[in-house]
Structure 1
Amino acid sequence: MQRRALLAAAALACAAPLVHAQGYPSRAVRIIVPQPPGGGFDTVGRLLADRYGKLTGQSFVVENRTGSGTLVGTDYAAKAAPDGYTLLVGSVSNLALNPGLYANLPYDSLKDFEPIGLLVSYSYTLVGRKDLPLRSRPEVLAYAKANPGKLNYASAGNGSGQHVLAAALWHLAKVDVAHVPYRGAQPAYQDLLGGRVDLFFDLSPTARVQVDAGNAKALAVSGAARNAMHPQVPTVQETGAAPLELESWFGLFAPAKTPPEVLQKLRADFAKLAALPDVRETLAKTGGKPLALIGDDARALVKRDVDHWSKLVRTLAIRAE
């Protein structure tokens, strides 16, 4: 009798993950956004929460956990129970740049997270103040080489994507351009529009507003291909400035050791929502390139960028504030 009871208990234990997955989600799921409301992280998080909710009939709730850039919220998600009820919006900044920015990062981007899928990517656009007497990226680099330290560029703060990308470009092009860090993109634009700084490498959707208004001039984009929002602007690689390419992807991640069956369910639903015409249209209207990279395909892109950008950030000796 005792042996039969033990066998029954073992069978139940083996079946538990499957039962858990079949009933998933049975309560509200939190999507951790490691930045304040507004911006790329929050926009993607709320779009995912809305569509997952409609697909599953369960509540998916965005929770903004901010602090130390993206560090606090990302670490919180890494240490959450791996049960599928706490997920993370991950991007280049918190998963690929942070490993190079922090000497003692409390989480491992590759070991502590399981990618569900990557939904969208955004390029950056290098813009100059509207009265900058340089009309192209080659002219900027030629002037910078002839006049070391005379040009300057804004960023949203030390270690921000705008800082890292621009610093990488100047490093690869072997020119000296002075860094002027701000606390966020808004004050950086105020000084760019006021003519107090020369250049700013910002996310293309935000930069487009100023370019279209005639407040700034677009010089190059960071993606592998030209951006549909301003197709006349060449890529950095097209200009011959440097072998530099970066698109800031955003996607959904679960803590490591989340049950495989739960991951399978999350990925299957992710594939469905990423293929919805209204989702793709919404992303395209915001200047993004819709993606539908699931599981291993997402993991390969994340690993590539973690390996490349964390190493380059360390080479540039950039540290977070």
Structure 2
Amino acid sequence: MKRLRLFAALLWLGLALGPARAAPPTYQALYANPERALPMQPTWQLQPVDAQAPPWEDIFTFTIGIAPNLIERARWLSLNPGKHNERAPALFDALDGRVLFLSPTARSFCDGRWQVVRQEYISVNPALQPLHRVWLVERKPGGGLRTTTANGRIDAQGQWAVPPVSCDGKDTISADSPAALSYLMPDGSRPVPSELQVDTVFAQPGLRDARGQWRPPAPPRDITTARWMDYKRQMVTPGSTGSGLIDARGRMVIPFIFGERPDATAQRRIQLCTAAGLDLQRNAGTPQVCRWQRLHGSSNAGAALRPVKDAATGRWGYQNARGQWAITPQFESARRFRHGYAVVSGAFPEDWRPPGWQDERPIIRQFHRVGRHWVVDALVRNASTGGAWELRYGLMNDAGQWLAAVPQPALHVTVLVPPGGRSGHYAEMLASHLPTLLGRSVQVDHVPKATEADYRRLMTEGGNEKVLLAALRLPRGGIEGVHQPAPIDALMHSLRPVTLLASEPLVLAIDSTRADTLGIRSTDDLLAYARAHPGSLRIGTGDDGWTGHLAFGQFRARSGVDVQRVVFKGMYPDSDVITKEHAVDLLFAPVNGVAVAVRRGQLRVLGTTADPAHPQSFEGVPWPTLGSSAPLAGYTTYDHFSLWAPANSEAASNRTLQEAVAQVLATPEVRKQLQDLRVVGGGGSPESLLALEDEERERWMRALSSPAR
């Protein structure tokens, strides 16, 4: 059988760019469904972004759970993404620039009694000790569930140094551990000096390098823009008023964001002033910086208009000589026009933007020097804030590069067979459950016609962005004399192990009519009949190299009986060859290949190829295992579905995926699914997958030791 035919059963999982956008469940939903976990990012990577056009919506997405006056004493900073972000909280090391997060394996502790289903936030107390606030689900001994929240501390590996609760549910927050991180800045909490320096223009802060160049965003050089930003920085309450300038047609020339000012002068200019320093608290003693703003317009326009207060509304407007409203009442106060302009006051213009302003741009409030990095707080309005102005934090390294969290790519499960079947089912299972652990979306793509070039590319390229899920005959490359070699066989040995996903046993079924005629109702009856009538029984299997071939060879080798093998084209024989054509007496096939005939009573299952420790049942009827019969002790045969990564992948990335798959397979819902499918879940380490491969090689050698195959 050609090796490429065997690969028709493979599934490829590729990682393509595109972050998940999972809507977080409400608190009510968490209480109603306590096992519904939020997607939690397993890894955090902060990388420099384009210095000329930084993606501000990706940079300013964090809140920091620490008092601003304590930030510069800390080494570890808590990064809490906004509620509209799919990421979980993390800790940032401002000295080394690394990010620490809750390990996927730490989301379950006390032997699974406690599950972390949601990370709320990381706060930092006055002693600079971070506390991880998490939602927990307790699985009680009687099977009930309970939801609670608690605080804990993690170590340098992301494991619990101080768990949120003890195994018996007691509060641990007062406990400490020598394994917990040291959060104080070394050397008396002094940050590392930087060549970048904080400077201001019209009270707007920015960072300059040693050559005097501004790092984006540079402070505005326009005093009106700077004054508007200053109002925003102070988080002006609704209803606040300021002075501005209008022309004779009532159009806003200068928005209502300034304090009291003189009228326009004969030189067609006006003096504008704003605060000079970084202090956000403004009062009469705040230093001012002023400049003259040139105006363009007719010096006589508006001379005939006079300010009038409307008795009905209490607002000021302008009337002409006939007493008609030329500019409707709308101002808090109004002066006469001078040189074509009038100073008026009104409510802070919430909808006004400076000319050319981009709403994604942050309004910087403060820079904090921490370690070798800068923590920058700003007012932003983007997707992470739900479209409202909110306070968020960003990070800049000492080279002046903005750091943004790299979005985790979507996981594409590429199935190299048409929709349906066992491979497709397992792929959909991963797509349904992995997003809650990987923090990314998972999509299944069916590509039934893959070429040898496709296999070569997917086995060798992709790094951490691809992983192979295969109904793969182990050992890789097959057995000489059974599996015909193909050009890709050598490449298969370069694949890196991830984990075993599932193992599906076969069944040995007999034609019910033949069973009654021959008096065969159990495995022991079958073996007794075969010994008494050597060579008379015929067992159907699929082509050489498939699992049925292995099952038959082991059956002969372990039992020592003489039975005939009849080979049918394909992976497994059709049950109709027994129930209608009566071509053979028995067959090896998966459950789904015989289920209809078993329900009809046309076939009878004598036993399964499962390990006796994992007996199978069908519609409430238990099936014995062949290995439970003394002559077949130790007998097992499975179709194995396993995960493999390309040759250039990283072991740490593969381990992270393995841990996530293990958690999926451990959930009660998935365990029930696998039980219904008569499947044994995997989830073990990469090393255990390699050990399984060696065991499979031994099984093949035993199976081939039988004189007849």
Q: Normalising by structure 1, what TM-score?
A: 0.76
Report how far residue 118 of structure 1 moved: 2.0
Give the conservation status (yes or no) of the 8 Å contact 2:494–2:647. yes
Q: In 1, distance between residues paired with 2:561 and 2:570?
A: 25
Tell whether 2:549 aligns with 1:163. Answer: yes
Give the conservation status (yes or no) of the 8 Å contact 1:124–1:221. yes
Q: Which amino acid aligns with 2:669?
A: D
Tell whether 2:450 aligns with 1:61. Answer: no
Partner of 1:241: helix, strand, or coil? helix
Q: What residue is the counterpart of 1:84 in the other structure? A: 464
Tell whether 2:647 aligns with 1:256. Answer: yes
Give the conservation status (yes or no) of the 8 Å contact 2:552–2:703. no
Deviations 1:257-295 (A, max 9, x none): 312342233223223322333222222222212333233
Give the conservation status (yes or no) of the 8 Å contact 1:98–1:310. no
Change (3 A) 1:47 1:124: same
Deviations 1:223-259 (A, max 9, x none): 1222133664322222223242223332322123312
Q: What residue is the counterpart of 2:591 in the other structure? A: 204
Give the conservation status (yes or no) of the 8 Å contact 1:115–1:252. yes
Q: In 2, distance between residues paired with 1:254 and 1:165?
A: 28
Change (3 A) 1:186 1:266: closer
Alignment of 1:169-180 (within 5 A): 169-180=555-566
5+ residue gaps, structure 1, are 1-14, 16-21
Give the conservation status (yes or no) of the 8 Å contact 1:66–1:72. no
Q: In 1, distance between residues paired with 2:464 and 2:640?
A: 22
Q: In 2, distance between residues paired with 1:90 and 1:312?
A: 24
Q: What residue is the counterpart of 2:420 in the other structure? A: 38
Partner of 1:220: helix, strand, or coil? strand
Further displaced range: 97-106 or 172-181: 97-106
Give the conservation status (yes or no) of the 8 Å contact 1:127–1:216. yes
Report how far residue 165 of structure 1 moved: 0.5
Q: In 2, distance between residues paired with 1:112 and 1:88?
A: 12
Report the number of matched residues: 294
Tell whether 2:701 aligns with 1:311. Answer: yes
Q: Which amino acid aligns with 2:608?
A: V
Change (3 A) 1:314 1:152: closer
Partner of 1:112: helix, strand, or coil? coil
Report how far residue 23 of structure 1 moved: 4.2
Change (3 A) 1:131 1:23: farther
> Which structure: larger Rg?
2
Aligned-residue Cα RMSD (Å) equals 3.5
Give the conservation status (yes or no) of the 8 Å contact 2:573–2:587. no
Which of residues 270, 274, 281 is equivalent to 2:665? 274
Give the structure, 1 or 2, with the largest relative contact order (CA under 8 Å, sep 6 or more): 1
Which of residues 264, 272, 288 is equivalent to 2:679? 288
* Structure 1 residue runs of 4 or more that deviate by more than 6 Å after TM superposition: 71-74
Report how far residue 103 of structure 1 moved: 4.8
Change (3 A) 1:59 1:273: same
5+ residue gaps, structure 2, are 1-96, 98-404
Tell whether 2:530 aligns with 1:144. Answer: yes
Tell whether 2:492 aligns with 1:102. Answer: no
Change (3 A) 1:155 1:287: same
Tell whether 2:638 aligns with 1:247. Answer: yes
Q: In 1, distance between residues paired with 2:476 and 2:563?
A: 21
Change (3 A) 1:107 1:24: farther
Partner of 2:648: helix, strand, or coil? coil
Change (3 A) 1:274 1:80: same
Further displaced range: 308-317 or 192-201: 308-317
Which of residues 593, 596, 603 is equivalent to 1:216? 603
Give the conservation status (yes or no) of the 8 Å contact 1:155–1:188. no
Give the conservation status (yes or no) of the 8 Å contact 1:46–1:62. no
Q: Which amino acid aligns with 2:611?
A: A
Report how far residue 186 of structure 1 moved: 7.4
Tell whether 2:507 aligns with 1:125. Answer: yes
User: Percent of pairs identical after alignment?
Assistant: 20
Report how far residue 303 of structure 1 moved: 3.2
Give the number of the structure whose residues are more often strand, by fraction: 2
Change (3 A) 1:142 1:317: closer
Q: What residue is the counterpart of 2:218 in the other structure? A: none
Give the conservation status (yes or no) of the 8 Å contact 2:541–2:549. yes
Partner of 1:245: helix, strand, or coil? coil
Tell whether 2:645 aligns with 1:265. Answer: no
Tell whether 2:627 aligns with 1:237. Answer: yes
Q: What residue is the counterpart of 1:6 in the other structure? A: none
Change (3 A) 1:296 1:23: farther
Change (3 A) 1:315 1:179: same
Q: In 2, distance between residues paired with 1:88 and 1:76?
A: 12
